[in-house]
Amino acid sequence: MSLFDHKMSELHTMLRNKEVKVSDLVDESYRRIAEVDGKVKAFVTLDEEKARAYAAELDDALGSEGDRGLLFGMPIGVKDNIVTKNLRTTCSSRILENFDPIYDATVVKKLRDAQAITIGKLNMDEFAMGSSTENSAFQETKNPWNLETVPGGSSGGSAAAVAAGEVPFSLGSDTGGSIRQPAAFCGVVGLKPTYGRVSRFGLVAFASSLDQIGPVTRTVEDNAYLLQTITGVDPMDSTSANVEVPDFLSSLTGDVKGLKIAVPKEYLGEGVQEEVKQSVLDALKVLEGLGATWEEVSLPHSKYALATYYLISSSEASANLARFDGVRYGYRTDNAETLLEMYKQTRSEGFGDEVKRRIMLGTFALSSGYYDAYYKKAQQVRTLIKQDFEKVFESYDVIIGPTTPTPAFKIGENTKDPLTMYANDILTIPVNLAGVPGISVPCGFKDGLPLGLQIIGKHFDESTVYRVAHAFEQATDYHTQKPTL
């Protein structure tokens, strides 16, 4: 049995009772990485020397008096678009291949303050643009459940590392489903918090009005612990919301009696595989058995979410990625004689195909004569999508549906068809456009591959989302099953 089969609270008790040392946890992480990461390829950078040195420091601190938070000594992986001081941060892109940040992202600082130990940086789709982690400039991450399938994206490394037992939990980022979709594909728990719940300071921007950092874990309880640590208003981030942070753990009661669930008919419609629909209906029966009720509803503007998302996110990416020009930091071409050539060649050589595709789409949507027809129209539709959610939440506590329309697909299956690849996020994208929280928890299997149940809540009501997710998790055993590597 791996140490990481224990929940965070159990590991914390073991540390406090001196049954294990912090060094044992770090050893377990690097041992497992050495054993399986050659197959999974979840990590792009390891921080072994510093992690072991810090573990030794914390082992010495175990014998002294003082407050020991639940994250004390816990190993964690960090997605490679979250900056880490003096630890390479590449966004899985050639253009940042040698970038060593001089400061920590706010979430990383909070983890350091909690005395967690960063094991390394996790692979992703380049600049978080993708649904399969096949767009990384460095390596393809594999799904631990079946190495011939994708782990999802863009936080594929974050989900695969947790599923493979390399770290007990990780941080990802979610712009259109990039935490929840890989969590579903890899059979782990992934939360996208309400927009503004977690600081984005130090998150390399893809689409600034959509991006959110969130936790990826084995259990809902661990997820709540991790969110509790990284959440809160941040003066360094103007989009960080100054709202009260509740005790998320107090919501894990297992009690959902009287809870009203909405099930959008659009989330069980065309394109959603039959086994996926059935897994959701079975999950609803479990929740019914616990005292909740559910009814079918409509989110009529969901059908426009995909087009709306790709116009808005690509437009924002076009603006955000303009900073990577070869002048100030990052990659610079050696094949240019003029300044204009240097800009062109640096970006041509440094960015991958998917990033270029989205920059071009976004630049077109923002260009003179097209702005009103595309970007402005997309923002208007976004408002309608948000209003759909608000209307449903007037009568219901949560919305439930599948996280993805299918289980994980084969590596290379969709790489030549961008539209099919984009459609993988069709059930997660509306949540980002509306800015509400959503979680994916394991709810079944098809052909040995995990399926995910998506639970969506009201703005800043992660507590109810966790309550439902935890109740379902405790009534089933999907979260206890692990891939064999």
Q: Is residue 233 part of a domain?
A: yes
Average pLDDT value over all residues in the chain: 95
Residue 283 has pLDDT above 90, yes or no: yes
Nearest to 121 by CA among 101, 145, 106, 144: 101
Helices 462-475 + 220-230 axis angle, to 10: 160
Give residue 6's identity as a one-letter amino acid code: H
Residue 65 has pLDDT above 70, yes or no: no
- DSSP element (H, E) containing 306: helix 305-320
The domain tally of the chain equals: 1
Boundaries of domain holding 71? 3-259+397-480
Q: What percent of the chain has pLDDT over 70?
A: 99
**Per annotation, catalytic residue among 92, 154, 173, 313:** 154
Residue 328, pLDDT score: 86
Distance CA 453, CA 169 (A): 19
- Sole residue written with tokens 């809160």: 232
Q: Which residue has the tokens 């294990």?
A: 20
* Residue 36 scores a pLDDT above 70: yes
Q: With a cut of 90, say whether residue 420 has pLDDT above it.
A: no
Least confident range from 101-105, 106-110, 326-330, 360-364: namely 326-330
Q: What is the DSSP letter of 372?
A: I
The pLDDT, as a whole number, for residue 322 is 95
Report the pLDDT value the prediction gives residue 418, as an integer from 0 to 100: 75
Cis peptide before 154 (omega within 30 of 0): yes
Average pLDDT of the residues in 319-342: 93
Q: Would 145 be classed as within a structural domain? A: yes
- Contacts of residue 166, Cβ cutoff 8 Å, sequence gap at least 6: 29, 32, 33, 36, 37, 40, 42, 43, 77, 119
pLDDT at position 407 is 96
242 has a pLDDT exceeding 70: yes
pLDDT tens readout for residues 452-482: 999 999 999 999 999 999 999 999 999 999 9
Structural domain includes residue 353: no
Q: What is the DSSP string of 424-478?
A: GGTTTHHHHHHT--EEEEEEEEETTEEEEEEEE-STT-HHHHHHHHHHHHHH--G
Two tokens at 124? 């992703």
Tell me 143's DSSP state. B
Q: Give the pLDDT confidence of 250-263 residue by residue, as tens digits.
A: 999 999 999 999 99
| 178 classed as catalytic | yes
Q: Residue 126: give its domain's CATH number.
A: 3.90.1300.10
Q: Does residue 350 form part of some domain? A: no
Strands 293-297 and 43-46: unpaired
Query: Once rounded to an integer, what is the mean pLDDT over residues 370-392?
Result: 96
Residue 53 lies in a domain: yes
Report DSSP letters for 209-273, one per residue.
TT-EEEEEESSHHHHHHHHHHHBS--TT-TTS-------GGGG-----TT-EEEEEGGGGSTTS-
Per-residue pLDDT at 66 exceeds 70: no
Amino acid identity at 145: W
Are 79 and 157 spatial neighbours (Cβ–Cβ below 8 Å)? Answer: yes
Per DSSP, 409 falls in state P
Nearest 5°: the CA angle 169, 310, 172 is 10
Q: Is residue 289 part of a domain?
A: no
Average pLDDT of the segment spanning 319-331? 93
Per-residue pLDDT tens digits for 116-175: 999 999 999 999 999 999 999 999 999 999 999 999 999 999 999 999 999 999 999 999
pLDDT class of 67 with cuts at 50, 70, 90: low
The verdict on whether 410 is a catalytic residue reads no
Task: Give the pLDDT confidence score for residue 68 in this predicted structure.
Answer: 77
Query: What global pTM score does this model have?
Result: 0.96
79 is catalytic: yes
Q: Return the residue matching tokens 């299997």.
A: 445
Residue 53 Cα distances to 45, 116, 168, 343, angstroms? 17, 13, 20, 41
pLDDT interval class at 1 (50, 70, 90): confident
Q: Which residues of 124-144 are buried (b: 16+ CB within 10 A; e: fewer)?
A: bbbbbbbbbbbbbbbbbbbbb
| Strand 398-402 relative to strand 260-264, pairing | parallel
Angle between helices 377-393 and 305-320 (to 10 degrees): 120
User: Going by C-beta distance under 8 Å and a sequence separation of 6 or more, which residues neighbour residue 332?
Assistant: 326, 342, 346
Of these residues, 41, 79, 109, 142, which one is catalytic? 79
Greatest alpha-carbon span in the chain:
71
Quick check: is 414 in a domain? yes
Q: Is 80 exceeded by the pLDDT of residue 422?
A: no
Tell me, what's the pLDDT at 346? 96
Give the model's confidence band at 61: pLDDT under 50 very low, under 70 low, under 90 confident, else very high.
confident
Q: Which of 408, 406, 379, 396 is nearest to 456 (CA)?
A: 396
From CA 8, how far away is CA 226, in angstroms rounded? 10
The answer on pLDDT for 323 being more than 70 is yes
pLDDT at position 424: 80
Token pair of 192 as six digits: 């996208």
Residue 333 lies in a domain: no
